[in-house]
Structures are given as C-alpha cells and as structure tokens.
Amino acid sequence: MARSDEPVFRIGEYWLAKRPGKETWNRTWYDPDAQCTRRISLGTTELEEAKQRLSDWYVRVLAPQDETPEEVSLADVIRRYYEEHASKLRSHETARLNLLVWLDFFGANATVASATKAQEIDRFI
C-alpha cells in the first residue's frame, strides 16, 4: 500500500489490506525495526467480517489498559463493552445495533474525553 493511500479500515497502527491479485483480507502494519510492511491473513474475503476480525484481535491482544480518557478511543471502549458484557446478553443484537449508533455519530477517531463532553452528549441525544 502506498503511503498516500487511505486504508479501508484502521485501528491504531493496524489496517486492512489485500495483496495484489488476492481476495483475502490481511491485518497489516508497518514494522519499523525491519523497515517494511507486515501482514497476516484474516482468512476472509468479506470486508465486514475482516473489520470484525481485526477489531476482535486488537481488543484481545493490544487494547490499552492504562490510558487516560484523552488517549482512549471510544471505539475501543465500545468494543470491549460489547465483547465482555453485551455479547453475552439475550438482547446482544439490540445492544450491538445501539452501540453502532454511538460509533456512527461520534466517528472512528473520537476519544472518550471528546465524546463525553456535555455539549457532545446533548448533540448525540
């Protein structure tokens, strides 16, 4: 992927990409030590499934634990909440759809601090 290309989906330093001529999505990142792009297959050709697999991996393996509200991504908090609590409820599908409303409104780059300001909550409501 050329540096000027915008990734289809990104979480932190990881993004989705396909190898030329291949249909399978990869978890992709830049390795500064080796000075090259690395990738691992996510085992799916479906974009939404790839997004889910990348997100699940990120939360399970790399999600920050001791960040301030200014540093923590709202998307990470919502993903963790769903994985650790809401996914186990009978109403998990309703919870998932409601959480997507938050993500759609605040956007992928929102932090917990920016999303929980009084005026932002009022706008959301």
Does 32 lie in the same domain as 71?
Answer: no
Does 58 fall in a domain? no
Q: According to the model, what pLDDT value does residue 65 have?
A: 65
Determine, yes or no, domain membership for 52: no
Report how far apart, in Å, the C-alpha atoms of 51 and of each of 13, 67, 114 are: 14, 23, 24
Is residue 101 assigned to a domain? yes
Would you say how long the chain is, in residues? 125
Q: Does one domain contain both 37 and 93? A: no
Whether 50 is covered by a domain: the verdict is: no
Same domain, 74 and 121: yes
Residue 89: domain span? 63-125
Report how many domains make up the chain.
2
Percent of residues, the chain, with pLDDT higher than 70: 92
Q: Does the pLDDT at position 44 exceed 90? A: yes
- The mean predicted confidence, pLDDT, of the chain is 86
